[in-house]
């Protein structure tokens, strides 16, 4: 009789994965809000000494705001899908009040969509940070060594981590 109170192992694993997505998205959403509170047009908020290397122009400032909004939208979308999936685990089946009736294809699709939202959010946040670096350290077109030194690891490590994440999500999606 004790087997009725046990949850399927897959359900626990999926809920843990969804909790992880929600937690990470929350941290990134906080970062996006902090980024939106910064005024990119503040001329005193830069480390550029050569005025010809300044990236302080309207299009870069507009891109920063747009990328932050896209990032926020993606993280919020991903988190809401993950929260919806978690709620689906809480809906009991008619025949067994201790187990949730989960449509496996729907779960996989929802987790894939949530992962796509997280990946998009990370990509947009990275693009916003590239523009922040250009405003603070100098434009890439100027050849600012400090800007290049800050951006190169960013555009190598973030896409690499996203690629690894995508591979694992696709692996989980096919299992």
Query: Tokens 């591979």 belong to which residue?
Result: 167
| Within a domain: 48 | no
Q: Report the alpha-carbon distance of residue 38 to residue 22 in Å, rounded.
A: 25
Q: For the segment 122-142, what is each residue's pLDDT rounded down to a tens digit? A: 999 999 999 888 888 888 888
Going by pLDDT thresholds of 50, 70 and 90, the confidence category of residue 6 is very low
| Within a domain: 44 | no
> Could you tell me the residue range of the domain that residue 142 belongs to?
2-39+54-173
Higher pLDDT pick, 139 / 153: 153
| Within a domain: 16 | yes
Per-residue pLDDT at 70: 95
pLDDT greater than 80 at residue 159: yes
Hey, is 5 helix, strand or coil?
Answer: helix
In the chain, how many domains are there? 1
Say how many C-beta atoms besides its own lie within 10 A of residue 44's C-beta: 5
Share of the chain above pLDDT 90, in %: 25
Per-residue pLDDT at 2: 44
Q: Is the pTM value of this prediction over 0.95? A: no
| Within a domain: 80 | yes
Mean pLDDT value across residues 116-121 = 94
| Within a domain: 45 | no
| Within a domain: 49 | no
Hey, is 107 helix, strand or coil?
Answer: helix
pLDDT greater than 90 at residue 163: yes
Q: For the segment 28-84, what is each residue's pLDDT rounded down to a tens digit? A: 777 776 766 666 666 666 666 676 666 666 788 888 889 989 999 999 999 999 888
Hey, is 13 helix, strand or coil?
Answer: helix
Which residues does residue 92 pair with via DSSP β-bridges, in sequence order? Answer: 100
């Amino acid at each position: 009789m004790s087997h009725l109170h046990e949850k399927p192992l897959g359900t626990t694993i999926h809920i843990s994965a969804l909790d992880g997505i929600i937690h990470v998205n929350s941290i990134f959403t906080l970062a996006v809000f902090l980024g939106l509170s910064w005024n990119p047009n503040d001329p005193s908020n830069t480390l550029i000494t050569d005025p010809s290397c300044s990236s302080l122009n309207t299009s870069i400032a507009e891109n920063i705001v747009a990328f932050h909004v896209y990032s926020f939208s993606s993280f919020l979308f991903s988190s809401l899908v993950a929260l919806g999936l978690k709620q689906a685990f809480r809906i009991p089946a008619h025949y067994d009040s201790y187990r949730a009736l989960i449509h496996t294809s729907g779960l996989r699709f929802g987790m894939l969509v949530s992962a796509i939202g997280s990946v998009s959010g990370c990509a947009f946040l990275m693009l916003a940070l590239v523009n922040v670096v250009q405003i603070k350290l100098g434009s890439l077109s100027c050849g600012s060594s400090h800007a290049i030194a800050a951006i190169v690891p960013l555009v190598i490590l973030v896409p690499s981590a996203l690629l690894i994440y995508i591979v694992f999500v696709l692996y989980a999606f096919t299992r």
